[in-house]
Structure 1
Amino acid sequence: MPCPHCTIVGHKITFSLDRERIDLIKNHFTQHNFPMDIEEDQLTTHEQGARELVDFLLAMDLATDVTFKINSYDWLPLSDFKDYQDASWVDELLFEPFIQMHFQPIIKSNGEIFAYEMLSRFVDRQGKKIFPDVMFPAAKTRGRTFALDRICRINAVRQVKRLLPNQKAFINFIPTAIYLPEFCLKTTTDLAHALDIDSSRFVFEVVETEQVKDTAHLQSILKYYQDNGFQYALDDVGSGYNTLNFLKELKPPYIKLDLTFVRDVNRDLDKQRIAKEILKMRDQFDAMALAEGVETIEEFNWLKQAGFDLFQGYLFGKPESEPLTTPSIDLTSL
């Protein structure tokens, strides 16, 4: 049975309202043959029925204190239902033909391309670009974060064949989009094995697009990846929830210093202190430290001298639709 959080399926929408209003709605639904499931003060229906219900409540001035939820997501005020409807365009784009993979190099201090970060970009049916800062919020509003995260991961795994044989692929995932790793991640890991690509070439990267509150759950996800031979990385370390204590608890093989601490690190003592803390952590559990968002040669030189292992940023290359054909970047031209 497919997981409703990972696959693209019709939504079940549940409304919480008093019994008097449910009785009014029930008669209307029966006449129009809309599906409904009533349990105490909750009525569940499909999307067309939900639209009818909301229109009725608003027209009859009965919308006070009504909340709704999509599948098993959080309860929302009825005022958010319009945003949910307006984001319906995202549903038809949650298929691989509308996802284009971009590749950003991750290099060693000598310019050798160690890996690429696999970055999903999106287009609509007319081929017009949809940027991630539009696509992901719309998917979240629509209740499609799970489906979007899954299809991006699968697409990224398929593209690894385009890299040189010794290069790794950093693939982002949203940990809150995964309920049971052995269920939600099986398609991803099975595909990687089916493509006959060494598991160690995959680095699944925790991103901070969703705040992790359940550390134990995240650890179960990372253990699943590890048990299947894959590696993992923590993104945006130093900012938000990814505190140094969180880092100690998870002991990732790769640690990415957030770009906000990379910017002007060569002349900012506070940022230098955080960068050095990351290096101390790296040494404690034999990880690799990656500085992301490097834009100037001065930042690169400071980070390299400090001891960072890997580097990523516009200084070395922007995300492109094709990986480079050369195994290294000429640092003398920077």
Structure 2
Amino acid sequence: MPCRGCIVNKLEFEVKIEEPEHLHRLLAIFKPCNERAAEIKVSEHGHLMMNESLMRGFVDFCTDHLNGIEILFRTSGEDWLPLSSAEAVFDAKWIDGVIAEEAVRFDFQPIVDLKGKTYGYECLARFWREDGTRVSPAEAFAAAKTRGRLYALDRMCRLAALRMTADMDPAWKVFINFIPTSIYSPEFCLKSTVDLANQLGISPDRFVFEVVETEWVEDVEHLKRVLAYYREKGFAYALDDVGEGYSTIEMLADLRPHFMKLDMKYVRGVSEDSRKQRVASTFLEKALQLGSVPLAEGIETREELEWLRQRGYQLFQGYLFGKPGTFSEMQQRGARLA
């Protein structure tokens, strides 16, 4: 099966112009204006194929000289977009360097059990551009999505997190975020994760892959296949934003999550807010009904912790137990909490 994003190759742009006469007219005008225009190929579907350098010149030409002609483009089999969106793809090129250079490190935030003992850590990715400026995870993944590099960035982060935590105390669970919508074939796309765990000699049951982007679940069957593959290989997985993304108990039962995370917006002030208390109680009921471990994140006060603990929550995460820190800080913190 061909790879659709594991490796950051040069982008190839596919351009579609619906009317054949417009296509021939455009080429007749553009080719004399660009000495490299001969490198443009025409596919069997009548679409133009060109590299990024040519595409930049093509976009400039169309912007300056063509009006009223609908021109669409895409990269790597992604969705078709209007030509005006091409500049955003060009501007996001910096993410290619982040992926190629593996310019990521991780901070770790503790997850504790009912007794305050360290249960595990969530890996939180941190990124840098080539010039040394820091990039937020939201900005990095937005650029990767724009550029068609979402799977490549997600894969890089997953593998780097495995390497980083290989020497961690095996008694601790490692929660690693991943984006299931970036994975088109679990057997193919996730094989590298399984292979690396085997190479490092670490047991898959130490890792919990935490599903992000769960507020809108459009293809539940695909998500089920992805999670079933992880379960089959011995990994665990967690779902967050359950109240937002998974509206029915039947859907949750199909996904069979090992852990369910209560979002921090329902945790902050839960000891005093009756609406949040109702959400937290319903969430807990669902988790226990499914046999999932309920985990509350974003805890900042003792009052929040006590309310959740008394209701039956089993795992807890938040600034009350420690802010995210480096691997060495995590080790020292874990030794104190253990």
Local SS of the residue matching 1:10:
coil
Quick one: distance in 1 between partners of 2:179 and 2:102?
21
Q: What letter corresponds to residue 192 of structure 1 in structure 2? A: A
Matches within 5 A, 1:61-140: 61-62=66-67, 64-95=69-100, 97-140=102-145
Query: Which one of the candidate residues 184, 189, 193 is aligned to 2:198?
Result: 193
What is the Cα-based RMSD across aligned positions, in Å?
2.1
Count how many residue pairs are aligned between Structure 1 and Structure 2. Answer: 330
Shift of the 63–197 alpha-carbon distance from structure 1 to 2, 3 Å rule, reads farther
Shift of the 46–96 alpha-carbon distance from structure 1 to 2, 3 Å rule, reads closer
Shift of the 95–315 alpha-carbon distance from structure 1 to 2, 3 Å rule, reads farther
Could you tell me whether the CA contact under 8 Å between 1:154 and 1:188 is conserved in 2? yes
Deviation at 1:260, TM superposition (A): 1.1
2:175 is the counterpart of 1:174: no
Quick one: distance in 2 between partners of 1:307 and 1:97?
40
Could you tell me whether the CA contact under 8 Å between 2:118 and 2:337 is conserved in 1? no
Query: Which one of the candidate residues 314, 319, 324 is aligned to 2:331?
Result: 324
Local SS of the residue matching 2:202:
coil
Could you tell me whether the CA contact under 8 Å between 1:19 and 1:40 is conserved in 2? no
Quick one: distance in 2 between partners of 1:153 and 1:96?
15
Matches within 5 A, 1:1-334: 3-17=3-17, 18-27=19-28, 28-29=30-31, 32=36, 33-62=38-67, 64-95=69-100, 97-208=102-213, 211-239=216-244, 241-245=245-249, 246-322=251-327, 323-327=330-334
Quick one: distance in 2 between partners of 1:196 and 1:111?
29
Deviation at 1:63, TM superposition (A): 6.1
Quick one: distance in 1 between partners of 2:215 and 2:91?
22
Structure 1 window deviating more from structure 2 (213-222 vs 314-323): it is 314-323
Shift of the 148–182 alpha-carbon distance from structure 1 to 2, 3 Å rule, reads same
Deviation at 1:97, TM superposition (A): 4.0
Q: What letter corresponds to residue 206 of structure 2 in structure 1? A: R
Could you tell me whether the CA contact under 8 Å between 1:83 and 1:141 is conserved in 2? yes
Deviating beyond 6 angstroms after TM superposition, the runs of 4 or more aligned structure 1 residues are: none
Local SS of the residue matching 1:135:
helix
Local SS of the residue matching 1:94:
helix
Could you tell me whether the CA contact under 8 Å between 2:102 and 2:156 is conserved in 1? no
Quick one: distance in 2 between partners of 1:13 and 1:233?
37
Q: Deviations over 1:245-271 (max 9, x none)?
A: 332331201000111111111111221
Q: What letter corresponds to residue 298 of structure 2 in structure 1? A: G
Gapped regions of structure 1 (runs ≥ 5): none
Could you tell me whether the CA contact under 8 Å between 1:112 and 1:329 is conserved in 2? no
Quick one: distance in 1 between partners of 2:296 and 2:243?
11
Structure 1 window deviating more from structure 2 (99-108 vs 156-165): it is 156-165
Local SS of the residue matching 1:119:
strand
Deviation at 1:212, TM superposition (A): 2.9
Local SS of the residue matching 1:267:
coil
Shift of the 165–258 alpha-carbon distance from structure 1 to 2, 3 Å rule, reads same
